[in-house]
Structure 1
């Protein structure tokens, strides 16, 4: 009963609210473009490359704004910042339906990029850390577990809307959801509780973390580089994998079935982490995840793209990405503490979002100039480089403190 009361009236309500809004935000801002933009580009007589350039501009804009946005959440909470972000996204999507000129089209993606920076995982992690402090890892895990269903909701919903209302109707519907569902939930349903406060002087005889590391120097550079490498691999693979499998001789139906395994594997790994939260160090989770990615690339490169091997690759890669998302929220919290967490995670997100925007074009160009196998070998190298970065990081330890008198 106490847990139910907290879920409705207490800080725990943040988990329920953000679980829903992350599904909607990812399902509206990130997943639909791959289905909608070919229709939009064809309707305007533009190339698909130009249409996708708008999406890339959105990602780059998100990277530029991320440290500032998450820093604002540190100071003012997610209620104001995340609700305004949802409204910016609604305006950007609505304006896309009437933006017939190229400059106006690209300007719409600036608004959508602002929405990405203030409604997706990084602002959600910052909001949870502001509410729950150093204990936020379990809440972060649960929200990412729920968010794993975004593709399950977003792609089918987009396809249905396209079939019945066209691309303009689809984007107007998504704009309405952001404006009338997501924004009010952020503004009025997110708790305003603040748990993050300066640590008290000497208290408790139990082992407490030493003073958090400063977000600078080689540890911070290595952490940022590792997550940027992961973002590049993820974006490059997910945007080109299905085409690569088809070129390997697999029929379209089998390729789609293989791709469908990515989401459930991602959710399953997050569920496992949720059940074990607090027992596994997020640094070891990150190391294990990128090692699994390297193995998946090696297996597909050496054995070849037969349906069973491709299915195993999709499961391994999806599971690794599932827990990497959690590590991206939990590891900076462990290393740098909850105070100023939003600014730190925003700084980590910025280069990752930049390379995420560039990766599809870089990988596609590499496929054209080299070969699919060479690209898979590059994936092995990238994953091993990320693993090396994580192995070189040494997080702060623990020291005992004396008990403060009553």
Structure 2
């Protein structure tokens, strides 16, 4: 009976967090739909407008280490509630922007709020409450659909009331939907028995070396560089490989479904392997995918195979990035480590698209693919080393 109640509690938490994350990621992704409207209205270059996304990731990354102590002291629920209070004024400021200064300031506020409410915050919350890797996998399975829900929503709203009105609607969603969900739908943090004595037996905590942490960071950042960068440049890369614009969009549009499918497969098997195993398989898949595109000579079949393998690898890596620390850290240390990893992860998310676009524009697709292959291969070697140095007894909560 107790396990049944616990299962219902976890499902309830997942529903609440999933709704909040779909709203959170969907609303901050509005520039993909209204970017040109914003550029015309504010008299800004389109590339400067899309730099708002980069500022968002930088602000999120810089805020993460600062929030680490708050996550440990107050718990993720309280931090997420506070972050929602911050997000609403960010959308209000965005809606009233008159030029670059106020526009970029709004994205700084939204990035700070994102650090408290999105991705890292939810991983910490689920580890506090559920303590299961599969809970994180289940959440990511749903949140992968944020753009599918909110791109058409943003398009409808912007047609009806303009991009400024859309931002005000999204500010209202923060206050009227997300805030009550987090305040009343999430349980308060309680200490779990398995938190005593982290990765080994009670009273025998596993000490993670600094070198291991740096290796986790390096492997995570390199994988993110490839997946974020390739995702942002995918259409242009496919054009450079010989596809027409229409064909490039058609092939590229398959990525979302494939990535969500990969997350689903990892979720179904999440109790049988850990995040490092997922990352090893996914990184290997990325290396093979890039290699096939390099030698494919523009063949449509080879490009389709690349899309399939890249989608599976990048989708699985999204889960692995969140769950690798569970292999090494207990509850409080997981919050600290995840917050510290978020800084370089978000910085690379902001930097990778312009770097890879520059390589593609100046040196061609082979330069981009070669550099991506180098990064993915280096990450694969680091992940292999991590797999050889797992703790002798894994935490119960990691499975």
Same fold by TM-score greater than 0.5: yes
* Conserved 8 A contact 1:6-1:13: no
Deviation at 1:200, TM superposition (A): 4.8
Alignment CA distance shift 1:372-1:291 (3 Å): same
CA distance in 1, matches of 2:383, 2:197: 32
Alignment CA distance shift 1:49-1:200 (3 Å): closer
Alignment CA distance shift 1:185-1:307 (3 Å): farther
SS in 1 for 2:286: helix
Q: Which residue of 1 aligns with 2:292?
A: 299
- 2:211 aligned with 1:213, yes or no? no
CA distance in 1, matches of 2:301, 2:203: 45
Selected match of 2:228 from 235, 239, 250: 235
Q: Which residue of 2 aligns with 1:308?
A: 301
Q: Which residue of 1 aligns with 2:391?
A: 396
Deviation at 1:162, TM superposition (A): 2.8
Name stretches of at least 5 consecutive residues in structure 1 with no aligned partner. Answer: 400-406
Quick check: 43-52 or 106-115, which moved more? Answer: 43-52
- 2:160 aligned with 1:152, yes or no? no
- 2:143 aligned with 1:143, yes or no? no
Deviation at 1:5, TM superposition (A): 5.4
CA distance in 2, matches of 1:137, 1:342: 14
Quick check: 103-112 or 192-201, which moved more? Answer: 192-201
Name stretches of at least 5 consecutive residues in structure 2 with no aligned partner. Answer: 395-399
* Conserved 8 A contact 2:195-2:331: no
Q: Deviations over 1:152-200 (max 9, x none)?
A: 1122222222333322222222222222111221121111142446755
The number of residues matched between the two structures is 391
Q: Which residue of 2 aligns with 1:102?
A: 100
Alignment CA distance shift 1:331-1:174 (3 Å): same
CA distance in 2, matches of 1:383, 1:116: 27
Alignment CA distance shift 1:256-1:4 (3 Å): farther
Deviation at 1:224, TM superposition (A): 0.1
- 2:187 aligned with 1:188, yes or no? no
- 2:172 aligned with 1:176, yes or no? yes
Deviation at 1:109, TM superposition (A): 1.1
* Conserved 8 A contact 1:293-1:317: yes
Deviation at 1:97, TM superposition (A): 1.6
* Conserved 8 A contact 1:294-1:383: yes
Q: Which residue of 2 aligns with 1:403?
A: none
Alignment CA distance shift 1:63-1:175 (3 Å): same
TM-score by length of 2: 0.91
* Conserved 8 A contact 2:196-2:203: no
Task: Please list, as runs of the form range in 1=range in 2, the aligned pairs for 1:6-405 lying within 5 A after superposition.
Answer: 6=6, 10-29=9-28, 31-133=29-131, 136-196=132-192, 199-200=195-196, 211-214=205-208, 216-393=209-386, 394-398=389-393
